[in-house]
Amino acid sequence: MKTSEAPVLIDRALLDAVSDAARSNPRLRKNHNFHATDAAVAHRLLNAIEPGSYLLPHRHLDANKGETMIVVRGRLGVVFFDDFGAVAQSVELRPQGGVCGVDIPHGVYHTVLALTAGTVMLEAKAGPYLPLDEAERAPWAAAEGSAAAAVYMRSLRELFSKS
């Protein structure tokens, strides 16, 4: 094997490092990218997310922007919505148990929330990275950083209170 880069092992040390970075980030989440740049055609990354992080419900309208998530540590709640903001489905992902991952087609409103500290998922999606545009943001969801976001997030977390 001849290459200019060495393989990266995804081990406990790497998971701990990305989780530590998420805990110290004001948004309580942190990516560890395996792709070289935001312009890469394939994005592969670890995404560490801590309880209390709010990810605005959104969808990806580009037909190439479906995304796959597999939880490698912790517990992740995934919530799918209809176009009007009603919860269509919620599922808990965990490395051991019934469901460890999900493949989300483009156009589906969704959000994720960490149900335990130290939650890390492996995510794969098409690049390049582009910020969400207004048509991709859920118009019925509370804005990140707003007082209403904390209340909204608590209501989403209650979907998993029996887990």
Q: What is the mean pLDDT of residues 98-106?
A: 96
Per the omega criterion (within 30 degrees of 0), is the bond before 51 cis? no
Average predicted confidence (pLDDT) for the chain: 94
Q: Are 118 and 51 in contact (CB under 8 A)?
A: no
Give the predicted TM-score (pTM) of the model.
0.93
**Domain interval for residue 65:** 12-160
pLDDT at 163 over 60: no
Number of domains present in the structure of the chain: 1
C-beta neighbour count of 55 within 10 angstroms: 20
Backbone torsions φ then ψ of 56, nearest 5 degrees: -55, 130
Considering the domain boundaries, does residue 2 fall inside one? no
Give the H or E element holding residue 87. Answer: strand 87-93
Considering the domain boundaries, does residue 7 fall inside one? no
CATH number at residue 63: 2.60.120.10
